[in-house]
Amino acid sequence: MIVTDHQPHRVSVAVYGEFTLADYKEFEELVNFKVKFEGPVDLLFDLREMADFTLDVAWEELKFSRTHANDFNRIAVVTDSQWLTWAAWLSQIFVNAEMQIFSDADEAAGWLGAAA
């Protein structure tokens, strides 16, 4: 399950439990809308409560990252997982955005706000 929020030029997503393809599609639709009407956006992913993700989500993330390589300014990922940290850095290969990993959501939001 995901919870999304958006402000001007920012999309925030918190994942709880399993991150499914339906969740990812919801995220994609929101980002596509924001990018279409506002241009590049910042992303805030809070993955601290994510238990797992499905293989089709990983594949969709790869396709999405390649399609939207220039649609993000900054990406903040909040996680305590070394595996998710590694995966986030790997995905940066496909996206032309500044990315930082945080263990604290307030620090992540502050870093994104500093760019505004």
* Whole-number pLDDT of residue 16: 95
How far is residue 101 from each of residues 3, 34, 55, measured CA to CA in Å?
Answer: 19, 23, 22
Question: In terms of pTM, does the model score above 0.85?
Answer: yes
pLDDT at 86 over 60: no
* Whole-number pLDDT of residue 92: 66
15-34 residue pLDDT tens: 999 989 999 999 999 999 99
Provide the H-helix boundaries in the chain. Answer: 21-38, 55-67, 82-91, 105-114
pLDDT band at 4 (very low <50, low <70, confident <90, very high): very high
What is the CATH classification number for the domain harbouring 107? 3.40.50.10600
> How many domains is the chain partitioned into structurally?
1
Instruction: Print the domain residue range for 86.
Output: 2-114
